[in-house]
Structure 1
């Protein structure tokens, strides 16, 4: 059985999808509840609308987007993931809030030091951003590289975690998300 919940945040509407084993998917904030729900449920039979399986995760997620330091230790369901992706995602979860690591570090962490590009591809397929903090993985020289929701969003998430996002920047983030949604990206 699948469950979903839509979460209002300071940056827009986020979506959560879970099985009985744990979180399956998280959509980053979208301009509207409808867009968040559409992105969340793409390719999924309509799950039950039930907040119970998520506990206080919706509230913690909203607090995260307000700039609060939140450690997400929630259960995730990676049972459908290939072993390499699962290893990458589990290792990425070790990167603490407010810190970054390189793709090279992550490749070495999973015992595949030459697999930097494959690590990047696995992160690009991450269905649970924030919980699996792929935005905290950057280039070896400190540069921002690939992010499904755009480099502006990746940079904003890193700034949010550094505590350096103002109310004006949150408004800008909403504008970026509106542009992102209007362009049809998910």
Structure 2
């Protein structure tokens, strides 16, 4: 199955939206680290219905008119990674969780570092809100889009 992509401008830079047959596969950052999200080659498809809908929902999110997303998601990763990414979807808008809280939520309380690693490989940033996961002491920790983008997203949701 071929993957298609479309790029959109956003307050956190140009985002590349990637979709497959089953749903949205990735949202990639402007300075995406090669290999963070392993993907097959993609083909530009600016009029693709799912990419158009994802772009519209992201625009509404950045305009503070949307607090959650209603898109088919196609998470591609290990069983453990997918469990972490599913847990991200349960973090309410405007709230944060620690890596330890996510580890406990998925029934792996000693897997805090593994949760951090899976969070860092979340292919669907913003939609699966990895920006809502912070260090145990409330510190902003690593983020694929950069800490400035993480702060912007958290500030957007707290306003």
Query: Scaled by the length of structure 1, what TM-score is found?
Result: 0.74
**1:73 aligned to 2:74?**
no
CA offsets, 1:8-51, max 9 Å, x none? 334432221011101111024x4xxxx79x99x98632325142
Structure 1 counterpart of 2:20: 19
Provide closer, same or farther for how the CA distance between residues 18 and 148 of structure 1 changes in structure 2, counting only shifts above 3 A: same
Distance 2:102 2:64 in 1: 25
Could you say if the C-alpha distance between residues 69 and 113 of structure 1 is closer, same or farther in structure 2, counting changes exceeding 3 Å? same
Say whether 1:87 aligns with 2:83. Answer: yes
CA distance in 1, matches of 2:42, 2:57: 25
TM (norm. structure 2) is 0.85
Distance in 1 (CA, whole Å) between partners of 2:13 and 2:112 is: 32
Query: Does structure 2 conserve the Cα–Cα contact (< 8 Å) formed by 1:102 and 1:139?
Result: yes
Distance 1:111 1:11 in 2: 33
Distance, in Å, in 2 between the alignment partners of 1:81 and 1:15 is 19
Structure 2 stretches lacking a partner, 5+ long: none
The number of residues matched between the two structures is 155
RMSD: 2.4
Where in structure 1 do 4 or more consecutive aligned residues deviate above 4 Å? none
- Map 1:1-186 onto structure 2 (within 5 A): 1-28=2-29, 30=30, 44-49=40-45, 50-78=47-75, 80-163=76-159
